[in-house]
Structure 1
């Protein structure tokens, strides 16, 4: 059997490593750019939903959010109806960096998909969406404290 997940992992780690190096000049480290992008795309998102979007545990998300807040990229605001909920918003600094991160994403996509036709690109996208949806089922299952049967 082809090692599809190994290939996906190598691609993800290589692109993450590149981004971490390139975004270091903006004081964005260790994948924080992922969080900032989602917050810019979804202003007012709550931490739990953000963790779900990125597919990380709440502790990992909390650490990244705290660092983004300390470095002035985002701010927390109380929810108007439920004061226990904090909503996340980009600051001016975060909004200024957002287009640079998006530009890097466009570039990485074009590099990764160089030589593929539009049809092949669409096929890859749809197949990877199906893979993600399959994995999400196990992710949700394990996240709730269950064990997978091998």
Structure 2
């Protein structure tokens, strides 16, 4: 048992991962009738927000392995949600654009995310919501810093 005020790393990431996996299952259920799986919502959001984003930039923005991005984009292209074309200035880069189908499903994707957030945060006060969001933003910044080589990732490990 951890001392009061102490948190061990495994339960923290275990809980974050479990919430994430539950959200994936929820998205699968809510978006399958549109031909989307639980992982593709993020691509729809990014490509609709930034039409013409390069596939390489998408890899950097969403912190997913190149092969996973390529695989999901291929599925989205096959199902008519996006198009990819070679960049005129660098033929090795692929630019990604939303189709009308992606733009039509975008409001539903946003609605599904909003419903999930509302369900999770039901019963939290405004202060609790603000505090949770601020702490998650700090964790996100630290995680990105570690992955991008801006931090050493050698934080002190608290023992139970």
Range into which the TM-score falls when normalised by the shorter chain:
0.7 to 0.9
Please say if residues 138 and 148 of structure 1, whose CA atoms lie closer than 8 Å, have aligned partners that are also in contact.
no
Please say if residues 56 and 93 of structure 2, whose CA atoms lie closer than 8 Å, have aligned partners that are also in contact.
no
TM-score of the pair, normalised by structure 2: 0.82
* Post-superposition CA distance 1:34-81 (Å, at most 9, x none): 111111111111112212222111011110011101110000133243
Residue 88 in 1 paired to residue 111 in 2?
Answer: no
| Structure 1, gaps ≥5 residues long | 142-146
Instruction: List aligned pairs for 1:26-45, cutoff 5 A.
Output: 26-45=34-53
Residue 54 in 1 paired to residue 54 in 2?
Answer: no
Name whichever structure is richer in helix by fraction.
Answer: 1
* Larger RCO of the pair (alpha carbons < 8 Å, separation 6+): 2
Instruction: List aligned pairs for 1:1-150, cutoff 5 A.
Output: 1-2=7-8, 3-141=11-149
Cα RMSD over matched residues?
2.1
Higher Cα Rg, which structure:
2
TM-score of the pair, normalised by structure 1: 0.86
* Post-superposition CA distance 1:6-57 (Å, at most 9, x none): 1111111101111012211111124112111111111111112212222111
Counterpart of 2:80 in 1: which secondary structure?
coil
| Structure 2, gaps ≥5 residues long | 1-6
Please say if residues 31 and 38 of structure 2, whose CA atoms lie closer than 8 Å, have aligned partners that are also in contact.
no
Q: Provide the aligned length of Structure 1 versus Structure 2.
A: 145
